[in-house]
Amino acid sequence: MAATSLQNYTLVITGAPYSSQAPQTALLFARAAIAAGHTVDRVFLYGDGVHLASALCAPPSDETHWASEWAGFLKNNAIPGVACIASALRRGLVNEAERKRYELPASNLLEPFIIAGLGEWVEATVASSRVLYFHAGD
Amino acid sequence: MIDQSPYGTWVGREALDMAFSLAAFDQAVSILFTDTGVNWLRAFQQPNDIAQKSVAKNLSAAPIFGVEALYADAAACRRYGLTLDNMIEGVVMCESSSELLHQFAHAAFAG
């Protein structure tokens, strides 16, 4: 078997948890990549994928809590998790700064996710050796 | 790449945002419309009755943002009765999407 070169990945998730498999598939890929010695530079949530960063998901106790699973993985591996601000604001995902700016009744961004612009994704397309997309597939 | 028709989902609009962001950060970017996505390029869209803005109007900003080209998959256009005469201005017909994609380092969908 030829030696595989190590890659640094950006993962883009556009499918929401509980309506698509995308966050789960992405997490399994990320774990496998790191186990094989690759690097995950960052995870970018776009479109419906931003729902993964909600602190208010409360699935039944016998189902996997994908937001918690992802948050734990990002913390343990010191990987930045970024939700696109335009996608997030449209879908009711806000941090404290946006709550104040738009005078909303609450904020709900789960740590360690942050909210930032598409420039983060643009930078990823330049800086990472691979950018992988995890779509809802419908 | 936009492969879904306008108005039914938000995916195409978010793909457009991706293209405009790449252009804003000085990355070379073009948009390819395939499958039902070619309906984005239909002239004289009237989405007022469904309280949406015309995607063709959004697209007209592409050259201003620095998007290099709007490509339309020719086979998809034939399927939907689209010709350069009933499409918005500035579209380039593309007979082979796969050959076109070889000219690009990245291809991305919004969903």
Q: Pick the residue from chain B with its C-alpha nearest to A22.
A: B111
CATH tag, B11-101: 3.40.1260.10
Domain parsing of chain A, residue ranges: 8-57+64-134
DSSP code of residue B38: G
- Candidate list A30, A33, A84, A93, residue with the active-site label: A84
Q: Nearest residue of B to residue A46 by CA position?
A: B110
Q: Going by C-beta distance under 8 Å and a sequence separation of 6 or more, which residues neighbour residue B16?
A: B2, B31, B55, B58, B59, B62
Residue A3 has pLDDT above 70, yes or no: no
Residue of B nearest to A136 (CA): B111
Phi, psi of B20 (to 5 degrees): -65, -35
Residue with tokens 């984005």: B40
Q: Could you give phi then psi for residue B31, rounded to 5 degrees?
A: -115, 130
Residue-averaged pLDDT of chain A:
96
- Which of A46, A126, A133 is closest, CB to CB, to B14? A46
Substitution target in A84, A90, A118 with the highest count of B β-carbons within 10 Å is A118
Q: How large is the C-alpha radius of gyration of chain B?
A: 13
CATH architecture group of domain A8-57+64-134: 3-Layer(aba) Sandwich (3.40)
Please determine, for residue B91, whether its predicted confidence score (pLDDT) is greater than 60. yes
Contact between A90 and B10 using a beta-carbon 8 Å cutoff: yes
pLDDT score at A14: 98
The whole-number average pLDDT for the span A2-31 is: 93
pLDDT tens digits, one per residue of A43-88: 999 999 999 999 999 999 999 999 999 999 999 999 999 999 999 9
Average pLDDT over residues A96-109: 98
Summarize the confidence of residues B103-111 as an average pLDDT: 93
- How close B4 gets to chain A, by Cα (Å)? 11
Residue B28 pLDDT > 70: yes
Mean pLDDT in residue range B53-62: 92
Residue A57 among the catalytic residues:
no
ipTM at complex level: 0.89
pLDDT band at residue A137, thresholds of 50, 70 and 90?
confident
What pLDDT is attached to residue A2? 47
Tokens of B61: 């900003």
Whether residue B7 is predicted with pLDDT greater than 90 in this model: the reply is: yes
Q: A73: closest CA among A101, A48, A52, A46?
A: A52
Q: Which helix (H) or strand (E) holds A92?
A: none
